[in-house]
Structure 1
Amino acid sequence: MARYLGFIIVVGLVVWCVLDISRSEDDERLGVHPALWMALVVLVPVLGAIVWILVSRGRRASARQDGSARPARGPAAPRRRPGPVAPDDDPDFLRKLDEERRRREQDTGDGSPTT
């Protein structure tokens, strides 16, 4: 088993790099097509993987310093939609509820809420 450990590590590194390349942004790849990066990593495994890691991590670090970086990605980090998450976080929804409550109170005339 120890004889194959180096081979297993290199294969794992190549697979990880290929997946990382496929999920990367254009600026992280320096504008190079992902197929070219993948070819470099697969054809020259150790050197290609090291070059990819240095380039992509360097670009991600510089983007974070500029403040233009996205939040750190996990394996399945969904992109968050802007706006309220729940109805009680939505000011328009709360305003409409308040208007509806006031309208019901005016209809009853006594100020007590109806059930």
Structure 2
Amino acid sequence: MARYLAFVIVVGLVVWCVLDISRSSDEERLGVHPLLWMALVVLVPVLGAILWILVSRGRRAAARQAGGGTGGSASGGSSWTPRRRSGPVAPDDDPDFLRKLDEERRRREQGTGDGSPAS
């Protein structure tokens, strides 16, 4: 069972590294073509994956420190940084939505207060 688990972990690591390489910038790859990095990771899975992780994370950390913590590069690098949404996340966070609900509630209350049957 442990052999299968180790195999699954190595395959998952290789797949993750290949996807990470495909999204990386030229600076993160040290100028090496992505297919060469992918070949290294696939042909020498554990060593190639560890090497890729060390190189790419080191370059990303250096870019963040040099760039003032922005995490991106001017050349359109694809290092991921979390973004805050500009608008509300849920309807109850949206002031326009809450205002419309309040207006609708007031209309219903006014409509039922004039003697008409409540629904």
TM-score when normalising by structure 1: 0.61
Measured after TM superposition, the shift of residue 73 of structure 1 is: 1.8
- RMSD, matched Cα: 2.5
Identity of counterpart residues, as a percentage?
76
Taking the TM superposition and a 5 Å limit, the aligned residue runs for 1:3-14 are 3-14=3-14
Which runs of 5 or more structure 2 residues have no equivalent in the other structure? Answer: 73-77, 88-119
- Paired amino acid for 1:57: R
2:65 corresponds to:
65
Measured after TM superposition, the shift of residue 25 of structure 1 is: 0.4
Which runs of 5 or more structure 1 residues have no equivalent in the other structure? Answer: 87-115
Measured after TM superposition, the shift of residue 14 of structure 1 is: 0.2
Q: How many residues align?
A: 79
Q: Which fold has the larger relative contact order, with Cα–Cα distance below 8 Å and residues 6 or more apart in sequence?
A: 2
Q: Is the 8 A contact 2:71 2:80 kept in 1?
A: no
Consecutive aligned runs of 4 or more in structure 1 exceeding 4 Å deviation: none
Measured after TM superposition, the shift of residue 72 of structure 1 is: 5.8
Deviations 1:19-63 (A, max 9, x none): 000000000000000000000000000000000000000000000
- Paired amino acid for 1:45: P
2:91 corresponds to:
none
